[in-house]
Amino acid sequence: MSGLAVLSGAVIAYQIILMQLLSIVQWYHFAYMIISVALLGFATSGTLLVFIRSWAVRNFNNLMPLLMITTGLLMGIVVFGSQYSGIRFDSYLIFSAGSQVLRLLFTYLLFFLPFFCAAMAIGLTFIKEAGSISRLYFVNLVGSGLGGVLALVLIHVADPASLPALAGLLAVTSGLFLIKNRQTFHKILGGLSVCILLGLVFYPPQITPSQFKSISKTLNLPDSKILWQKNNPHGFVQLVTTPALRYAPGISLTFHDPVPTVEGVFVNGNWYGPLVKKSGASKENIFKYMVKDLPYRISNPANVLVLDAGTGWDIEHALVSGAARIKAVESHPLLPELLENMKVDWLHDERVSYIVSESRSFLRRDTLKYDLIIIPTLNSFGGNSGLNALEEKYLLTREAFSEMWNKLSDEGSLTITTWMDYPPRYPLKVLASISGMLSAAGVENPDAHIIAVRSWSTITFLVKRLPVKSSEIQRVLDFCNEMMFDAALLPEGNAKSRMTYNILQDDDFFDYLDQILSPETRYQFLDKYDFKITPATDDRPYFSQFLKLKTLPRLTADFSEQSLPYFELGYLIVVLTLSQILIAGFVLIILPLLKIGWKGVNRGFTFFYFGAIGIGYMFVEIVLIQQMTLYLGSPVYAAAFVITLLLIISGLGSYHSARISAQTSGLIKVIAAIVLLLLIYTFILGPVLELTLTRSLSVKLFLTLIFIIPLAFLMGMPFPVAITYLYSSSGLQIPWAWGVNGYFSVISTVIAIIISVEVGYSMVMVGAAMAYFGALIAYVSVTGFSKMLRR
């Protein structure tokens, strides 16, 4: 039992570790892919056990330690195998080189191996001790839950490259306890594995980020070196210095002074911001020549709020512009330590308060009003191929904009800058979000409150609480003429020439802006435009997701197939992964079972019931993680907390399910209760969380427990009770049950992502309710509802 718990914990810890490593190597954590490949391992093991069941049970004592030790060894080595140049895939190249699709598949299959071995061990235990399935499932789930917590601890204390081997050591340990005295080979293998893994812990091979990631390119510059680095679940922070790194995004062409060099901060290999150590004349000068100086050109904001402050660029800008009080909010907890270590002088400036918090949580609980609220610059120079399509951005939702509007002082303003892109997407979505915010606030003439100024590469929007004054309009025009910027939007049509200094070959861009600004044409334009530029919401917080599937044929005609991935690489990779998973799952799980034939009674029940609960459970997990991300203020901790809680409480439910006989109506009531709870949560969970968002963390954690415990407890029961039912009626269906459940769990993770992107998380919750309802129907139809009621 303890071996099972430790192995289960190692598996979950390994999943979370892989997510972190992929975040560093690729551009995204690929959480859905990791969860899918883990579940694929479980499901495939179920299929294999169909074929070798008798032999495996007979050789249980030999196989178990072998499988556990092999799991651990594979955990340590496959990550580095995936870095081998012949196999390694690069998400940036995935649509430009056909071989990358194969490499993705190889990587997928490599990661599959340790999960498969672990699943074989766990599945074999379930089969051998099927009579105690409830207790075993409990141990499995509790162990898994604790594994999530362990992963977070390990990420805090260990180098990222050492993490896979640490998880591997855990798995190997679980196997070592089972070795009997006579099993010499096992002892040797165990010993060797421990030595190899310890070697990998203390002398880890290098984890190499994609050559296209910012940090890779920066490290290619002359005399570059990493000055500081530290890891934590929020991301791996690195500070790089090189004399060739400069930062002055979109600076005016009238700037003739030298652009100072900076040090670069990277999180998971992605550019996070320049390190502004010391104030100086050159830096003061630079800010004046940027479009982002717009708010300071038309007013003198005293109280400034900088959201997602990062490394302090906007803080420094506010300081040199004369702000009296600056509150800066940054979510990454390692940033203050980095800034202290690098002796950044503004950190101790009495005018600056640097707070570690997730921005939305801060907005809810902070009671002050501000003269200027600054949102960090969106997108990147030249765009990023839609890589951030799946990134949840709660600071850019309709609800967030409303909260920011309400935090403005009477004469306050909100500013947001984005890089220009082509075809236009980011600037249009920003304007749509701002316009929506003003409409929601009851502002009848939004164009009187908005200014937009464009340089050759960026555009800055400024939204004022009060209508823009004539004197301010003149200051904007003076700013533009001085800096060779162009006013893209000014009240009362004062932007007479929108292309004086920076010509756009396709000037339809301005027509789009006007259509969005006008309440009469806005909704029609948003509906008809080829990209998704309707404002993001908390239910669908994917600001950077622009793809409309229905316009794909037209975009293909305009830009050719080869160009399309570069618009929406992130989202298209999800679709590609789904295709691969559907096929891989079918080949590894279903096909072998078909080969032996699907015999026996209750086949339909097995398929529909176990498929449905597989879908339902994963849908619930994905939705809860999303809801708690905003609520608890940290995506990483929310994910770990939800997964741990779900698994442990489901484990308790599984343990308790031993009292439920499959021959009574008990399970019907359980599933009906799950469906009811899910439907209730669809409507009330969001509003309750929103209402209590400003409460203390302990209150929020308590409320989270209140919501998750009953649901998770109940969700732990359907699987073991139905397995017991199959065991009593026909054990032949059990491998199929395991395989079908695994297959649908595998694909549902990806499907949940797609549904949430297309229609929002609420619909995923509804989907979960429908799935459990489907399971209910399947169960009732095979057992007979009326018969159950009589018992």
Partner 1 sequence: MYNTFYYLVLFLSMFSLFQDRYGEFRKKMVSEQIELRGISDKNVLKAMRNVKRHFFIPQELRNRAYYDGPVPIGYGQTISQPYIVAYMTEIIDITPNSIVLEIGTGSGYQAAVLAEITDEVYTIEIIPELGDAAKETFNDLGYNHITSKIADGYFGWEEMGPFDAIIVTAATEFIPPPLIGQLKLGGKMVIPVGSPMQVQSLMLVEKNALGKVKTRSLFPVRFVPFTRH
Of 54, 222, 497, 520, the residue at the interface with partner 1 (CB under 8 A) is: 222
Q: Which is nearer to partner 1, 255 or 785 (CB)?
A: 255
- Read off the tokens for 496: 């007479």
Stretch that binds partner 1, among 18-26, 329-337, 521-529, 674-682 (CB under 8 A): 521-529
Nearest distance from C-beta of residue 107 to partner 1, angstroms: 18
Nearest distance from C-beta of residue 508 to partner 1, angstroms: 7
Stretch that binds partner 1, among 35-43, 506-514, 534-542, 700-708 (CB under 8 A): 506-514
Rounded Cα distance between 108 and 583, Å, is: 13
How many alpha carbons fall within 13 Å on the CB side of residue 611? Answer: 14
- Whether residue 529 contacts residue 515, with contact meaning beta carbons closer than 8 Å, is answered with no
Of 84, 192, 508, 696, the residue at the interface with partner 1 (CB under 8 A) is: 508
| DSSP 8-class letter at 67 | H
User: Around Cβ 256, how many Cβ atoms within 10 Å?
Assistant: 7
Asked if 520 is part of the footprint of partner 1 (rule: CB under 8 A), the reply reads: no
Question: CB neighbours of 447 closer than 8 A, spacing ≥ 6?
Answer: 489, 491, 492, 517, 518
How many alpha carbons fall within 13 Å on the CB side of residue 43? Answer: 31
Q: Which is nearer to partner 1, 424 or 718 (CB)?
A: 424
Q: Which is nearer to partner 1, 225 or 528 (CB)?
A: 528
Nearest distance from C-beta of residue 225 to partner 1, angstroms: 16
N-to-C CA span, the chain: 34
Q: Which is nearer to partner 1, 96 or 470 (CB)?
A: 96
Residue with tokens 């190597």: 25
Q: Which is nearer to partner 1, 576 or 676 (CB)?
A: 576
- Read off the tokens for 504: 């756009």
Stretch that binds partner 1, among 502-510, 636-644, 683-691, 726-734 (CB under 8 A): 502-510
- Read off the tokens for 629: 């991300």
Query: What does DSSP say about strands 325-330 and 352-356: parallel, antiparallel, or unpaired?
Result: parallel
Q: How far from 559 is each of 255, 423, 766, CA to CA, in Å?
A: 36, 10, 37
Nearest distance from C-beta of residue 346 to partner 1, angstroms: 22
Rounded Cα distance between 141 and 147, Å, is: 10
User: Around Cβ 494, how many Cβ atoms within 10 Å?
Assistant: 15
For residue 423, whether the previous peptide bond is cis, meaning omega lies within 30 degrees of 0, is yes
Q: Which is nearer to partner 1, 562 or 781 (CB)?
A: 562
Taking residues 71 to 100 in sequence order and writing x for each that binds partner 1 by CB under 8 A, - otherwise, the string is ---------------------xx--xx---
Asked if 212 is part of the footprint of partner 1 (rule: CB under 8 A), the reply reads: yes
Asked if 530 is part of the footprint of partner 1 (rule: CB under 8 A), the reply reads: yes
Of 131, 191, 205, 258, the residue at the interface with partner 1 (CB under 8 A) is: 258
Taking residues 307 to 336 in sequence order and writing x for each that binds partner 1 by CB under 8 A, - otherwise, the string is ------------------------------
Of 385, 460, 602, 756, the residue at the interface with partner 1 (CB under 8 A) is: 385
Asked if 283 is part of the footprint of partner 1 (rule: CB under 8 A), the reply reads: no
Of 103, 186, 213, 498, the residue at the interface with partner 1 (CB under 8 A) is: 213
Stretch that binds partner 1, among 140-148, 297-305, 551-559, 577-585 (CB under 8 A): 551-559
Nearest distance from C-beta of residue 558 to partner 1, angstroms: 6
- Whether residue 14 contacts residue 75, with contact meaning beta carbons closer than 8 Å, is answered with yes
- Read off the tokens for 555: 């975009």
Which positions from 3 through 42 interact with partner 1, judged by CB under 8 A? none
Of 226, 558, 599, 684, the residue at the interface with partner 1 (CB under 8 A) is: 558
Asked if 268 is part of the footprint of partner 1 (rule: CB under 8 A), the reply reads: no
Question: CB neighbours of 708 closer than 8 A, spacing ≥ 6?
Answer: 624, 642, 645, 646, 649
Q: Which is nearer to partner 1, 68 or 573 (CB)?
A: 573
Asked if 482 is part of the footprint of partner 1 (rule: CB under 8 A), the reply reads: no
Q: Which is nearer to partner 1, 15 or 26 (CB)?
A: 26
Nearest distance from C-beta of residue 527 to partner 1, angstroms: 9
Asked if 571 is part of the footprint of partner 1 (rule: CB under 8 A), the reply reads: no
Asked if 702 is part of the footprint of partner 1 (rule: CB under 8 A), the reply reads: no
Asked if 481 is part of the footprint of partner 1 (rule: CB under 8 A), the reply reads: no
Closest CA to 606 of 508, 464, 441, 719: 719
Count of residues that interact with partner 1, criterion CB under 8 A: 60
Taking residues 331 to 370 in sequence order and writing x for each that binds partner 1 by CB under 8 A, - otherwise, the string is ----------------------------------------
Rounded Cα distance between 742 and 738, Å, is: 6
Dihedral of alpha carbons 246, 248, 254, 257, sign:
negative
Rounded Cα distance between 718 and 724, Å, is: 10
Asked if 220 is part of the footprint of partner 1 (rule: CB under 8 A), the reply reads: yes
Sheet of strand 237-241, all strands in order from the earlier edge strand to the far edge: 225-230, 237-241, 263-267, 270-275
Rounded Cα distance between 14 and 34, Å, is: 10
Nearest distance from C-beta of residue 506 to partner 1, angstroms: 6
Of 206, 505, 698, 786, the residue at the interface with partner 1 (CB under 8 A) is: 505
- Read off the tokens for 71: 């799991």
Closest CA to 148 of 13, 4, 6, 29: 13
Asked if 556 is part of the footprint of partner 1 (rule: CB under 8 A), the reply reads: no
Asked if 504 is part of the footprint of partner 1 (rule: CB under 8 A), the reply reads: yes
Asked if 391 is part of the footprint of partner 1 (rule: CB under 8 A), the reply reads: no
Nearest distance from C-beta of residue 268 to partner 1, angstroms: 16
Q: Phi and psi for 697 in degrees, rounded to 5? A: -60, -40
- Read off the tokens for 259: 């652009």
Rounded Cα distance between 489 and 460, Å, is: 10
Nearest distance from C-beta of residue 564 to partner 1, angstroms: 10
- Read off the tokens for 362: 């801060």
Taking residues 237 to 256 in sequence order and writing x for each that binds partner 1 by CB under 8 A, - otherwise, the string is ------xx-xxxxxx-x-xx
DSSP 604-621: HHHHHHHHHHHHHHHHHH
- Whether residue 417 contacts residue 380, with contact meaning beta carbons closer than 8 Å, is answered with no
Of 518, 563, 579, 696, the residue at the interface with partner 1 (CB under 8 A) is: 563
Nearest distance from C-beta of residue 518 to partner 1, angstroms: 13
Q: Which is nearer to partner 1, 423 or 467 (CB)?
A: 423
Distance of CA 389 to the CA centre of its chain: 10
Stretch that binds partner 1, among 153-161, 340-348, 380-388, 757-765 (CB under 8 A): 380-388
- Whether residue 600 contacts residue 658, with contact meaning beta carbons closer than 8 Å, is answered with no
Rounded Cα distance between 205 and 162, Å, is: 8
Which positions from 455 through 474 interact with partner 1, judged by CB under 8 A? 456-457
Nearest distance from C-beta of residue 98 to partner 1, angstroms: 10
Taking residues 394 to 423 in sequence order and writing x for each that binds partner 1 by CB under 8 A, - otherwise, the string is --------------------------xxxx
Closest CA to 302 of 375, 369, 357, 377: 369
Asked if 610 is part of the footprint of partner 1 (rule: CB under 8 A), the reply reads: no
- Whether residue 309 contacts residue 275, with contact meaning beta carbons closer than 8 Å, is answered with no
- Whether residue 448 contacts residue 518, with contact meaning beta carbons closer than 8 Å, is answered with no
Closest CA to 373 of 436, 425, 329, 313: 329
Which positions from 96 through 125 interact with partner 1, judged by CB under 8 A? 96-97
Asked if 595 is part of the footprint of partner 1 (rule: CB under 8 A), the reply reads: no
Contact set with partner 1 (CB under 8 A): 92-93, 96-97, 210-213, 216-217, 220-222, 243-244, 246-251, 253, 255-259, 381-385, 420-423, 456-457, 484, 501-506, 508, 512, 515, 525, 528-530, 551, 554, 558-560, 562-563, 566
